[in-house]
C-alpha cells in the first residue's frame, strides 16, 4: 500500500529546505513508512503463526479426543466386566445360603416332629388318662 504524505508537510518541507531536497526527504519518509508497514505485516503474520502453534500444542485435537473417548470406553467395559463378575459371585453365594437354609429348615421340621412324638409318648407313659382323653378327642374309642 503506497503511503502519501499530506500536501501541507510537502509545502512545509519546500519552504524550509527547498523543492528538490523536499522531494528527496518526502521520498525517504514514504519509503521508511512503507518499510515499517511491511515489517508490521510480517511481524503480525509471524505472531499469528506462533500463536496458532502454541494453541495447537495446548488444545486437544480431534484425534486426542477420539483416543481419550476410546480409552474411557475400554475402562468402562473393564469396570462393567469386573462388576458383573462380582454380582455373579454374590448371586451364587446367595443361592448357596438359600440352599443351606432350606436344608436347615427341613432338618428342623424333622426334629420338631420327632420332639412332638417323643413328648406325646412321654405324656402317654406318665399319664394313662391322657391316652383315653386323646382317643375320645380323635374319635377312636367311644
pLDDT digits (tens, 9 = 90+) for 80-100: 999 999 999 999 999 999 999
Q: How many domains does the chain have?
A: 1
Alpha-carbon gap, residue 77 to 75, rounded angstroms:
5
In-domain check, residue 42: yes
pLDDT for 75 equals 96
The per-residue pLDDT of the chain, averaged, comes to 85
In-domain check, residue 93: no
pLDDT for 72 equals 95
In-domain check, residue 16: yes
Top-confidence residue, 106 or 24: 106
Q: Which domain holds residue 44?
A: 1-59
The answer on pLDDT for 32 being more than 90 is: no
Q: How far is CA 95 from CA 33, 43, 141, in A?
A: 91, 76, 50
Alpha-carbon gap, residue 5 to 13, rounded angstroms:
11
List alpha helices for 18-61, DSSP H: 19-58
In-domain check, residue 30: yes
The answer on pLDDT for 113 being more than 90 is: yes
In-domain check, residue 34: yes
In-domain check, residue 20: yes
> Assign residue 59 a region: left if phi > 0, alpha if psi is -120 to 50, beta otherwise?
beta
pLDDT digits (tens, 9 = 90+) for 97-110: 999 999 999 999 99
In-domain check, residue 28: yes
The answer on pLDDT for 141 being more than 60 is: no
Reference 25, options 79, 33, 44, 38; nearest CA is: 33
Residue at grid coordinates 454380582: 87
In-domain check, residue 18: yes
Mean pLDDT score, 105-132: 88
pLDDT for 106 equals 95
Amino acid at each position: 500500500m503506497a503511503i502519501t504524505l499530506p500536501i501541507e508537510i510537502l509545502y512545509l518541507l519546500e519552504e524550509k529546505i527547498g523543492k528538490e531536497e523536499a522531494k528527496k526527504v518526502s521520498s525517504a519518509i514514504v519509503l521508511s513508512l512503507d518499510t515499517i508497514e511491511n515489517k508490521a505485516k510480517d511481524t503480525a503474520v509471524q505472531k499469528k503463526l506462533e500463536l496458532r502453534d502454541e494453541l495447537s500444542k495446548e488444545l486437544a485435537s480431534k484425534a486426542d479426543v477420539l483416543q481419550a473417548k476410546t480409552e474411557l470406553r475400554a475402562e468402562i467395559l473393564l469396570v462393567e466386566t469386573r462388576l458383573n463378575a462380582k454380582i455373579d459371585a454374590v448371586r451364587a453365594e446367595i443361592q448357596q445360603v438359600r440352599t443351606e437354609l432350606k436344608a436347615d429348615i427341613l432338618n428342623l421340621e424333622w426334629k420338631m416332629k420327632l420332639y412332638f412324638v417323643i413328648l406325646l409318648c412321654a405324656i402317654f407313659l406318665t399319664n394313662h388318662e391322657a391316652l383315653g382323653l386323646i382317643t375320645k378327642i380323635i374319635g377312636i374309642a367311644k
